[in-house]
Amino acid sequence: MKTKLSDKKNIAILGSTGSIGTQALDVIRANKDAFSVEVLTGNGNADLLIKQAIEFDPNTVVIADESKYQYVKDALAPHDIKVFAGNKAIAEVVQMDSIDMVLAAIVGYAGLESTLSAINAGKQIALANKETLVVAGDLVTKLAKEKGVNLYPVDSEHSAIFQCLAGEFHNPIEKIYLTASGGPFRGKDKTFLSTVKKEQALKHPNWEMGAKITIDSASLMNKGLEVIEAKWLFGLKPEQIDVIVHPQSIVHSIVQFTDGSMKAQMGLPDMKLPIQYAIGYPNRMKSDFPRFDFLTHPQLTFEPADIKTFRNLALAFEAMHKGGNAPCILNAANEIAVAAFLKDKIGFLQMSDVVGNCLQTVAHIAKPSYEDYVETDKETRRIAKEFLNF
């Protein structure tokens, strides 16, 4: 049995093979005296998971894809590392006594169960998995409050708001502005969008991210999900949340207080910064990330979001206003839409069509239980697939 040094923060990284997961490991590699890796989990990329495990020497590794269990187990046999498989195992290992913090960086609805399980066990959460709050924000935030768990945002916009709120104690927020880059298709019309292929949508101008969030950024669904995420993280009313397009991605978001004063957080677009702030909170640790230079960015510009062309953002606001299971419907329909688009089965604009259709057809539940969310997710996926013939 391995014993871990108690002065380090022991972290479980869920989704360690993804964009956020690998960048979190970069941050940890550069700060080995502050953090130790207790758990790593991945899904498809078994070789990377094995490589990470050999480097970071965690207590436990879980491969979600059960067909790869034997492969990972054999590769790690010479090492003193436990290996499990499946999503149930992820939800169980996050409750280990030795874990101080869980970085929830699985993509999509698949991350909900393990995040809830970690909160139930009282683990601090660094939250990248925004879909968790979109689907079941009421349950997640209520449980976190009950268990004395803080949700430290990893999403750059929410980290920006969180950083702007430091030292403000209970000064009320008047409103927040979430900034959006506008994605690769900013300024384009529907005729153009009807022709775009995944290769174009996967080229984000400012950020390197996993495929799903990159498509969401191109369709503005990412900003829609973030609006709902912000509502739950900061306890806001829908009217208090606004979106402003800022193509340079330097101002990461803005808080306006009741005296009219506005605070913004700025920096080059680099997810390592919000990851490090979330896992290192309340400390600002030294970093060698490239610094912003005003002279290479003489102009920071702002413009309204085009919600007529990019319907997803309007649909997300609609779902947030409707409340209950509507955001869960929005999310499930979108996950199917993005998967279909990434397989070249549907066009870019059809993604909004299926989300709009599901919001109309799936039964609304005003105060859903966890089981209602599970059922809503399942039913919406079924209807979305049927609608898209996918």
Positions that interact with ligand NAD (CB under 6 A):
15-21, 42-44, 64, 87, 105-107, 110, 128-131, 155, 207, 209-210, 212-213, 271
Q: Which of 38, 113, 131, 155 binds Mg ion (CB under 5 A)?
A: 155
Rounded to whole angstroms, the Cα distance separating 162 from 284 reads: 13
Using Cβ positions, the residue closest to Mg ion within the complex turns out to be 155
Shortest Å, Cβ 14 to ligand NAD: 7
Count, residues near Mg ion per rule CB under 5 A: 3
* 82 versus 364: smaller Cβ distance to ligand NAD: 82
Contact 134, 330 (CB under 8 A): yes
Q: How far is the CB of 308 from ligand NAD (least distance, A)?
A: 25
Q: How far is the CB of 300 from Mg ion (least distance, A)?
A: 18
Tell me whether residue 20 or residue 316 sits nearer to ligand NAD (CB atom).
Answer: 20
Taking CB under 5 A as the rule, does residue 229 contact Mg ion?
no
Cα of 156 vs its chain's centroid, Å: 10
Q: Which two tokens stand for residue 47?
A: 């070789």
Q: How far is the CB of 21 from ligand NAD (least distance, A)?
A: 5
Q: Kindly state the tokens that stand for 341.
A: 């688009």
Nearer to Mg ion, 81 or 225 (CB): 225
Q: How far apart are CA 80 and CA 375, in angstroms?
A: 40
> What's the gap between Cα 126 and its chain centre?
10
Residue 340 binds which of Mg ion, ligand NAD, none (CB < 5-8 A, kind-dependent): none
- What do you get for the CA distance between the two ends of the chain, in Å? 48
Residue 382 CB, nearest approach to ligand NAD (Å) = 18
Is the CB of 10 or the CB of 16 nearer to ligand NAD?
Answer: 16
In whole angstroms, give the CA distance from residue 254 to residue 382: 38
**Nearest to ligand NAD of 167, 290 (CB atom):** 290
Instruction: Quote the CA–CA distance of 63 and 148 in Å, as a whole number.
Output: 29
Q: Which helix (H) or strand (E) holds 180?
A: strand 173-180
Closer residue to ligand NAD, CB minimum distance, 44 or 194: 44
Other C-beta atoms within 10 Å of 183: how many? 25
Is 42 or 368 the residue whose CB approaches ligand NAD more closely? 42
Q: In what order do the strands lie in the sheet with 251-257?
A: 241-245, 173-180, 251-257, 262-266
Strands 173-180 and 251-257: antiparallel
Query: Rounded to the nearest whole angstrom, what is the least distance from the CB of residue 156 to Mg ion in the complex?
Result: 5
CB 335 to ligand NAD: min, Å: 10
Q: Is the peptide bond before 247 cis (omega within 30 degrees of 0)?
A: no
Q: List residues binding Mg ion (CB under 5 A).
A: 155-157
